Structure 1
C-alpha cells in the first residue's frame, strides 16, 4: 500500500500544479492526503444507491485539470475522450480494461465524451490495486468490474490530438 499511496501523492501534486506563465514561478502544489482520499471514498460509497453503477467526485481541481475519485460498481459504456488523456491509479478492487481498437456505434454525449456500444480489436488487461493507467486522447476504452467494485483516482489532461 505504501507504493500506491506514494503514487497517489505524486499524481495529486502533479495534477494540482498549474503550468507557470512565462517568467513566472509555479504556484504552490495542493495535496489531498491519504486520509482525505479514504474519507471521500467512504462517503461516496455510503451515498451510492444500491442500483447505482458509477459515481465521480473531484478531489482537486486546477482550471480544467481535475483529479477525481471514480467508483465503478457496474461497467459503463465504452468511451473516447477526443481531446483529453486519462491517467488513473487503481485504489481498490479489480477489473478489466479494454482499450484501443475501434469504438462501434459512436454517439457524442458532450464535446469531451463519445460513447459507443462496444470496442472491436482492443487490448484487454486485468487491473488491480496500484496499477497505473494512461489512456491517450482519442483512444477508445472500457472498464469492466471484477468483484464488488473498482475504485480509481483519475485525472483528465488536455491531450495532443
Structure 2
C-alpha cells in the first residue's frame, strides 16, 4: 500500500510540474512548416517576412525569411540572438551607420562603415549587442533565420 501511495504522489508531482511548466516549445516539424509557409507567402515586392514562432513576455522567438537586403539597423534597447536555418548570406556588424536616422527604438542607416564581414550558412549562430549596427546580405535567393530580440534588463 505504501508503494502505491508513493507512486501516486510522484504521479501528482509530475502532473503538477507539467501543468505549471512555462516553457515555450516548437517541434522541428512546426518550424519547417512555418518556413515553407513563408516561402510560399512572400511576395516579389517584399524584402523579408517576420513571423513569431514562440512568445513568452517579454521575449519573442521569430523566423525571419529574407530574400533581399534592407538597410542596416541598430536596435537601441535590445540585443538580437540569431541562428541561420536555411540559405546563405553575409553579416556585416559593428562600425558605424552612415546616413543614420532614428525612429522608435531603432536607428537605420544606408550602410555600415568600418564593420566586420562574415559569411553566413545554416547552423551559424551569433549575438548582436544592443546599439550595434548590423546588416544582412542574401546569397542564392534566401536567408532564413531564427531570431530573438532580448530587451535591456530593467534597472
Scaled by the length of structure 2, the TM-score of the pair is 0.83
1:7-156 superposed matches below 5 A: 27-111=21-105, 113-156=106-149
Output the CA distance in 1 between the equivalents of 2:40 and 2:123: 23
Residue matched to 1:6:
none
How big is each residue's C-alpha offset from its partner over 1:103-144, in whole Å with a ceiling of 9 and x where there is no partner?
111112322x21001100000000000000100011000000
Q: Which runs of 5+ in 2 are unaligned?
A: 1-19
Output the CA distance in 2 between the equivalents of 1:128 and 1:80: 22
Output the CA distance in 1 between the equivalents of 2:40 and 2:87: 16
Aligned length: 135
After TM superposition, give the deviation of residue 160 of structure 1 in Å: 6.2
8 Å CA contact 1:83–1:160 kept in 2: the answer is no
4+ residue runs over 3 A deviation: none
How big is each residue's C-alpha offset from its partner over 1:10-43, in whole Å with a ceiling of 9 and x where there is no partner?
xxxxxxxxxxxxxxxx843110111000001111
Output the CA distance in 1 between the equivalents of 2:100 and 2:57: 28
- For the aligned residue pairs, the C-alpha RMSD in angstroms reads 1.5
8 Å CA contact 2:24–2:55 kept in 1: the answer is no
8 Å CA contact 1:95–1:126 kept in 2: the answer is yes
Output the CA distance in 1 between the equivalents of 2:153 and 2:125: 20
8 Å CA contact 2:24–2:56 kept in 1: the answer is no
SS in 2 for 1:133: strand
Output the CA distance in 2 between the equivalents of 1:53 and 1:145: 10
